[in-house]
Amino acid sequence: MREYFKNIYEAVATILIGMGVTLRHLFVPSVTLQYPKEKIELPPRSRMQLYVNIDDCIGCRQCERACPVDCIEIDTIKADKDEDLGLTSNGKKKPFHVTRFDIDMSKCCFCNLCTFPCPTECIYMTPDFEYAQEDRSNLNFHFSNYTPEQVAELQKREAEKKAALAAAKANAGKKPTAN
């Protein structure tokens, strides 16, 4: 009989303790954010999504070399001697056509190491974290603004230059023959 009343006492006490916790939380401000309607303010210098201002990129590939997980892939083609690709916003000459500048954010570990060596500060972290994708390949972001046709044309020109150089070297190496 004693055990019976003890069980009833414990059941009622447990309910009252639980209700007490609920009651206490009725009078404290809520900390839950109704995302995506409400968004938390991120601290300054948060590392989220990388961005490249491609107009300021000189194609030096220092960011690509600094990346510990190889998620940056850059292809460049040297400009012709008489070709002027213009200047960056901090006055640096652009010596290369940057025909590919891809960053695979699915591999990125947000270490920020790629941003430090950039001489024009054109690669940087943005506060944008809402870029989830169903297809992982959509996380490979492309920053080059060259069309496939322009890239093909530049590659053709480069191949012709190399062939001409090789032919010139071969001709220079030939011994003159006596008539």
Cβ nearer to ligand SF4, comparing 60 with 154:
60
Closest contact distance (angstroms) between CB of 78 and ligand SF4 is: 14
Q: Does 75 bind ligand SF4 (CB under 6 A)?
A: no
- Only one of the segments 4-12, 15-23, 27-35, 102-110 lies at the binding site for ligand SF4 (rule: CB under 6 A); that segment is 102-110
- Only one of the segments 11-19, 21-29, 114-122, 159-167 lies at the binding site for ligand SF4 (rule: CB under 6 A); that segment is 114-122
| Choice from 122, 144, 146, 154 touching ligand SF4 (CB under 6 A) | 122
Contact 90, 108 (CB under 8 A): no
- C-alpha–C-alpha distance, residues 96 and 102, integer Å: 16
Residues 6+ apart with CB under 8 A from 125: 45, 46, 47, 48, 49, 50, 51, 110, 112, 115
Q: Can you say whether the dihedral through the CA atoms of 99, 101, 102, 107 is positive or negative?
A: positive
- C-alpha–C-alpha distance, residues 65 and 80, integer Å: 25
- C-alpha–C-alpha distance, residues 76 and 95, integer Å: 9
| Choice from 108, 144, 146, 154 touching ligand SF4 (CB under 6 A) | 108
- C-alpha–C-alpha distance, residues 116 and 106, integer Å: 21
Closest contact distance (angstroms) between CB of 105 and ligand SF4 is: 8
Q: Does 113 bind ligand SF4 (CB under 6 A)?
A: yes
63 belongs to an annotated ligand binding site: yes
Q: List contacts with ligand SF4 (CB under 6 A).
A: 50, 52, 57-63, 66-67, 69, 71-72, 74, 103, 108-114, 117-120, 122-123
